């Protein structure tokens, strides 16, 4: 006989799975023959993504392959218990790869390897968070192509998407965010976000029920990044309107024609 805790956990997993399947169906995230590489950081979001994709891959149709990749950065003093990730992926039926990388000194970026520019965000191209994220993604892209993967899956949820929208509005003056699916221009890869319809609070609830282990040591820059500040701002906005994320996400599909010309400031 199941305990009340087991029943609650199963109900929460069913809730998450329904939203995961809806995202996959609505945005065409998974197709026959796909080989999906998961960016597995070890946080609750990427753990849930690995669990859900592992479960989905066991269903007959569509037939697809999934592999998880955990990237460790030598210069960043945070890490996840590898033995836990290995046992977690083994239970999920998902092969796990580990890659160790090193970041080049920031000055070498000026005359050597080029990084994407972010207009309107002073100093961002050499910030520790930007460099770490960019080289992690570069490793994901390289491994995906080496394995013959055609898709890379990230564990971004609805809160991440709303935060990114606010960041783009505040720092770049652009009404844009992370799409559920993005075709890369220079390589045959798609980026997909199967958790895009799931709220972070629901993931946190399930992570506690399921007993997900937290990362052994968190990033030292976690609480000083622009994203963390915008996350705090969004929490304040939710105090004004508890359904603020619903409104922000809804606005992205409800863009109306502007009736006023751009406001210009006279010099």
Which tokens go with 210? 């399921």
- Span 193-210, mean pLDDT? 97
Cβ(78)–Cβ(217) below 8 Å = yes
Residue 93 maps to which CATH number? Answer: 3.40.50.620
- Span 200-223, mean pLDDT? 82
Distance CA 127, CA 135 (A): 12
260 within a domain of the structure (yes/no): no
**Residue 158 burial by Cβ neighbours in a 10 Å radius (0-12, 13-18, 19+):** buried
So what's the pLDDT on residue 191? 97
120 within a domain of the structure (yes/no): yes
- Span 27-53, mean pLDDT? 97
So what's the pLDDT on residue 76? 65
SS3 at position 192: strand
Looking at every residue in the chain, the average pLDDT score rounds to 85
Cβ(58)–Cβ(92) below 8 Å = no
pLDDT, one tens digit per residue, over 123-170 is: 444 566 677 778 889 999 999 999 999 999 999 999 999 999 999 999
In the chain, the number of structural domains is: 1
Distance CA 220, CA 202 (A): 26
Q: What is the DSSP letter of 126?
A: G
So what's the pLDDT on residue 123? 45
267 within a domain of the structure (yes/no): no
265 within a domain of the structure (yes/no): no
Q: Is the pLDDT of residue 11 over 90?
A: yes
pLDDT, one tens digit per residue, over 219-229 is: 555 555 788 88
183 within a domain of the structure (yes/no): yes
pLDDT, one tens digit per residue, over 58-84 is: 998 899 999 999 999 886 666 688 999
57 within a domain of the structure (yes/no): yes
Q: Best-predicted range by mean pLDDT among 39-43, 214-218, 226-230?
A: 39-43
So what's the pLDDT on residue 219? 59
Torsion (CA) 174, 49, 135, 101 in degrees, nearest 10: 170
> Where in the sequence is the domain holding 68, given as residue range(s)?
4-251
So what's the pLDDT on residue 222? 59
266 within a domain of the structure (yes/no): no
21 within a domain of the structure (yes/no): yes
So what's the pLDDT on residue 265? 63
């Amino acid at each position: 006989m199941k305990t009340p805790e087991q029943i609650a956990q199963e109900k929460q997993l069913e809730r998450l799975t329904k939203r995961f399947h809806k995202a996959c169906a609505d945005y065409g995230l998974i197709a026959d023959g796909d080989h999906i590489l998961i960016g597995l950081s070890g946080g609750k979001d990427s753990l849930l993504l690995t669990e859900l994709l592992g479960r989905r891959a066991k269903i007959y149709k569509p037939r697809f392959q999934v592999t998880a990749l955990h990237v460790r950065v030598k210069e960043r003093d945070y890490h996840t218990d590898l033995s836990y990730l290995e046992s977690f992926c083994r239970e999920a039926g998902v092969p796990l790869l580990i890659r160790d990388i090193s970041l080049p000194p920031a000055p070498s970026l000026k005359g050597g390897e080029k990084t994407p520019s972010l207009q309107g965000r002073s100093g961002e191209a050499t910030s520790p968070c930007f460099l770490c994220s960019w080289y992690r993604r570069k490793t994901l892209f390289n491994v995906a192509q080496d394995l013959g993967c055609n898709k890379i899956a990230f564990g971004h949820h609805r809160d991440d998407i709303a935060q990114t929208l606010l960041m783009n509005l505040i720092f770049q003056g652009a009404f844009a965010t992370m799409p559920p699916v993005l075709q890369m221009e220079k390589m045959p890869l798609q980026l997909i976000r199967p958790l895009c319809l799931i709220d972070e609070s629901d993931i946190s609830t399930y992570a506690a029920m399921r007993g997900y282990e937290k990362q052994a040591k968190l990033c030292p820059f976690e609480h000083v990044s622009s994203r963390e500040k915008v996350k705090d701002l969004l929490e304040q906005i939710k105090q004004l309107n508890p359904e603020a994320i619903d409104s922000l996400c809804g606005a992205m599909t409800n863009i109306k024609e502007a009736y006023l010309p751009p406001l210009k400031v006279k010099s």
